[in-house]
A and B are shown apart, each in its own frame.
Chain A
């Protein structure tokens, strides 16, 4: 028992771990909320593109000694807006446009990096995350941005739902579908850039997608899915940090491995839609899908 208490409390003695826990918990919760729309709208690829396209902005900010987060955000949001705008061309499918910009942005980032050897160490922290090195100011930045993101999602929730359900009908009813799409892109981008420092460019997608995907298997209610995704993100990030601390493993990677563990367990064991439930359920006791008119 004492060992368990020690396991749970030990990391909290260290100020850098306190900051890491705070940042990871906030990022996990916020990514869960925003991730619900990423998963329901099938925007995983967009998220990936935005995460990678923040890279040249970070490189530029570093070169000119600007704020790395602001640089990444500017590049990511510019790319997101360009994607939304260029994919209005009916001849190009959205994923094609995303592929073009995503590859370009990442290539540009690499070109910028390759001009100076000394960049590699610092930039690698942006690719793979450095949650154990966040400052107190970073904790506040993430907390404030995270709170704003969640408030915006809640504020335009019913409009986002109407557009996600049926774009054309929403447009016919007079909702500004393009501007709502743009807002969602900007929300996703901001979430990603905010999370970059903790889990890195490559792994941020897991925080955005995995908790929301896990929650989707557990409920048919949007509010429940949002709460669950947020709780799973928060819990998984914290648990990942414990694992990383206890076994001396990379923090960002541990968070993602724990989150994916939750996902796999849910996929197997979810009460209604899990694999086990499908095997156990006899064919004549199929779920109550009505077939009448």
Chain B
């Protein structure tokens, strides 16, 4: 729970079945304002599925998602999504400012051109992510870290209070990681909620106020010290059973 305040994101008993297989089962999770939460688990644990369910991209077979208190099929549209970098067509002829503006496409509306408010939102998102000076640079010429910041800026341009980030640290170098850490910390300090999947346990321990261990369902959650708890980590990664099998003669 988010210290008594209304959570920005709440999943209650969220269950997702894909192709007849239950990928996510009865997951309970909430992210409050100012929180930076890491979603940790092995490959295939359902981390990305949980984000996609929160965004309304995959249907729930049971349970409920609430974004800023709103439920229903369109609730996820209020959340900002920062997908993995390979989801974006970096060879498209567009500059950073143009790419960030696409985050507001829905807000601008059909048959309309961006107005002053849209341009201001883009400027603010560029400013927050430190991309103002690069605004006219084609996206195809950016480094991995710059690309990650473009995706964050695009999500921020729509003005969401909750950001869902899929593996933002994968494949970026250490200086970029620190820069992103600092950025995420700042976004949380401004009252946004962030939920990120990550493989990087060290980064999660350093920056996230709370970690959620996921393996098909929420196995445990708590402060970063949870990552130092061998029993729970083994359980989250399914190693308790694996080691049990190996140890048996």
Task: Report B43-100 residues with CB < 8 Å from chain A CB.
Answer: 52, 55-57, 74, 76-77, 79, 81, 83, 87-89, 92-95, 98-99
Chain A: interface residue count, which band? 20 to 34
CB contacts (< 8 Å) of B89 on chain A: these are: 40, 164-166
Given A158-B105, A220-B138, A290-B146: A169 in contact with B81 (beta carbons within 8 A) = yes
Residue of A162, A220, A222, A288 near B140 (CB, 8 A) is A220
Task: Report A221-244 residues with CB < 8 Å from chain B CB.
Answer: 221-222, 224-225
Residue of A168, A290, A291 near B57 (CB, 8 A) is A168
Residue of B92, B98, B105 near A170 (CB, 8 A) is B105
CB closest chain-B residue, reference A226: B93
A66 at the binding interface (Cβ < 8 Å): no
Residue of B83, B93, B134, B175 near A169 (CB, 8 A) is B83
A177 to chain B minimum Cβ distance, whole angstroms, is 10
A91 to chain B minimum Cβ distance, whole angstroms, is 9
CB contacts (< 8 Å) of A5 on chain B: these are: none
CB contacts (< 8 Å) of B106 on chain A: these are: 173-175
CB closest chain-A residue, reference B76: A172
CB closest chain-B residue, reference A291: B143
Chain B: interface residue count, which band? 35 or more
**Which of A162, A216, A289 has the most B CB atoms < 10 Å from its CB?**
A162
Give Cα distance in the complex from A53 to B94, angstroms: 33
B132 at the binding interface (Cβ < 8 Å): no
B108 at the binding interface (Cβ < 8 Å): yes
CB closest chain-B residue, reference A158: B105
B189 at the binding interface (Cβ < 8 Å): no
Q: Is the CB of B142 within 8 A of A290?
A: yes
Q: Is the CB of B56 within 8 A of A172?
A: yes
Q: Is the CB of B57 within 8 A of A172?
A: yes
CB closest chain-A residue, reference B105: A162
Task: Report A99-118 residues with CB < 8 Å from chain B CB.
Answer: none
Q: Is the CB of A166 within 8 A of B88?
A: yes
A89 to chain B minimum Cβ distance, whole angstroms, is 11
CB closest chain-B residue, reference A90: B19
CB closest chain-A residue, reference B90: A165
Q: A161-B98, A170-B102, A172-B79 are in contact. List 15 more A-B contacts (CB 8 A).
A: A40-B93, A156-B110, A158-B108, A161-B92, A162-B102, A164-B92, A168-B57, A173-B103, A173-B106, A174-B74, A224-B93, A288-B141, A291-B143, A292-B143, A293-B143
A-B contact pairs, 10 of them (CB 8 A): A158-B102, A161-B92, A162-B102, A165-B89, A216-B93, A220-B93, A225-B93, A291-B143, A292-B143, A292-B145
B positions within 8 Å CB-CB of A = 19, 52, 55-57, 74, 76-77, 79, 81, 83, 87-89, 92-95, 98-99, 102-103, 105-106, 108, 110-111, 134, 137-138, 140-143, 145-146, 154-155, 158, 172-173, 175-176, 179
